[in-house]
Amino acid sequence: MRYFHRRASAVLAVTAAFQLGPVAAEFDMALHGPYAYYESSPILPRPWAGQFATWFPNSAGVLTNVSTGVCNLTLVDYRAALRAPRGSAEARTLLSICNRHEACVYAQLPPSVTLNYQGASILLGLAPVILSTLGPTLAELALLSARRPLLSLLVSLGAPVCWVTRAFEFHDPRDAVRGGRLVVGRKSTRVAVLISATQYVLAAAAAGNVFSTMVETGRRTTLAWACTTAFAPLLWSTLAVLVNIVAAASGLVIKRASKREEGQPSPLWKTVYRAVASETTICANREVDYGGKTGEEVPMLAMFLFVAAGCMSFFFFLFGTAVFSGLQFVSFIDAFKRILVRLIVSTIVCRLILVVELAGLRRTSVVTTK
C-alpha cells in the first residue's frame, strides 16, 4: 500500500510541475530580469527555423514536452524575436532569449539525461581527432589536387579533417608516391572510365552526406557558447575547401618546378588545360608523371603554401573541436549513430579513393637521383 501511495505522489508531483509551467517560466523571468540586447551582425545568417522545433530522435519526446510546456514562455518569445525584422529592438534580444530558453530546458531535465548529454559532448569533442586518423594528409591532398583538382575538392568535402602536421613543418608531397608499396596497374579504357565515374559518384555522395549531417546537426542542436549560431557545424565542414586550395597551390608549384628542371617548360595556361583535360582520367592511366629528383630543392613558395595550409588545418581542427564539444541536447546514441558514424563512413570512402589514386601515381611516377 505504501508503494502505491509513493507512486501516486510522484505522478501528481510530475503532473503539477507541467501544469505550473507558465508560473515557473514567469518566476524565471522575475529572477533573471528582462532580456539583454545584443547588436546582431548583418553578415551572419540568422538561426534556421527548425531550432527548438526539431530534436534528435532519441530524446525528442522529453525535449519537446519541456520546451513547449514548462519553458513555453521563453519559446514563444524566441519565435517572436526570430520573426522580427533584423535590427529591431525585439530582434536584438534573440541571443538572450535563446540562452534563457536553453537554460530553462536544461533545468527541467533529470540528472541522468544531462549526464548523458555531457558524455555525448565529450565524444563529439573527440570527433576531429578520430576523423583525422582516417582522413588524408596535406601532402596527399596536394599531390592529388595538382592532377585531379575536382576530385580532390570532393574528397576534401567528404573527409573534412586532415591529419594535422606539426606547426611550421614541411613534407614534400612527392614522398607520398616514393615511399608506398601499393601500385595499381594500367587499366583498359572501359574499366578506367568506370572507375573514374565511380570515384566521382562516391566522393559526391560522401560530400553530400557530410553536408546533410551538418545541416541536420545545426537544426536539432544549439551551441553552448553561441546559442543562435546554427550554421557553425556546416561552416566547419565547408572550411576544408580553403585548406585544400592552399595545399593544391603548393603541389602545383612543386610540379611545375620539377618539369622546368627537366627542360619541359610548362606555362600556367598549359598546366590548367592539361589539368582540365586529364580530370576524368585515373592516375594509373596517365602518361609518365615526373616525380622529381631525390633530395632536390623545393621552391620557397611551395614550402610557404604548404606550411600555411598546415597552420590553417590546425585552426580548422581547433574550431571543429570547439563546435562539436559545444553541441547541446544530443544524447550519446544520437551523437554516435547520427553524427559520428556518418562522418566516419564519408571519411573512409574518400580515403579509399585517395589510396587508389596514389597507387596509380606510383606506377606512372619517375624518380631520378640527383
Model pLDDT, residue 92: 85
Task: Select the more confidently predicted residue: 305 or 18.
Answer: 305
pLDDT for 12 beyond 70? no
Please state, in angstroms and rounded to a whole number, the distance separating the CA atoms of residues 333 and 335: 5
In this prediction, residue 34 has a pLDDT band, given cuts at 50, 70 and 90, of: low
Which 3 state secondary structure label does DSSP give 181? coil
For cell 612543386, what's the residue?
254
Average pLDDT over residues 108-115: 93
Model pLDDT, residue 362: 78
Model pLDDT, residue 359: 87
Q: What is the pLDDT of residues 43-96, one digit of tens each?
A: 566 776 668 989 999 999 999 999 999 999 999 999 998 888 877 888 888 888
Task: Select the more confidently predicted residue: 302 or 272.
Answer: 302
**Angle 111-125/300-325 helices, nearest 10 degrees?**
170
What's phi and psi for 95, nearest 5 deg? -65, -45
Query: Distance of alpha carbon 178 from its chain centroid, rounded?
Result: 31
Model pLDDT, residue 365: 60
Average pLDDT over residues 318-329: 95
pLDDT for 269 beyond 60? yes
Please state, in angstroms and rounded to a whole number, the distance separating the CA atoms of residues 290 and 278: 15
Task: Select the more confidently predicted residue: 292 or 171.
Answer: 171
In this prediction, residue 27 has a pLDDT band, given cuts at 50, 70 and 90, of: very low
Please state, in angstroms and rounded to a whole number, the distance separating the CA atoms of residues 172 and 146: 13
Task: Select the more confidently predicted residue: 26 or 204.
Answer: 204
Q: Which pairing describes strands 327-328 and 222-223: parallel, antiparallel, or unpaired?
A: antiparallel
How far from 122 is each of 58, 127, 217, 277, 322, CA to CA, in Å?
Answer: 18, 9, 16, 46, 11
Average pLDDT over residues 142-168: 86
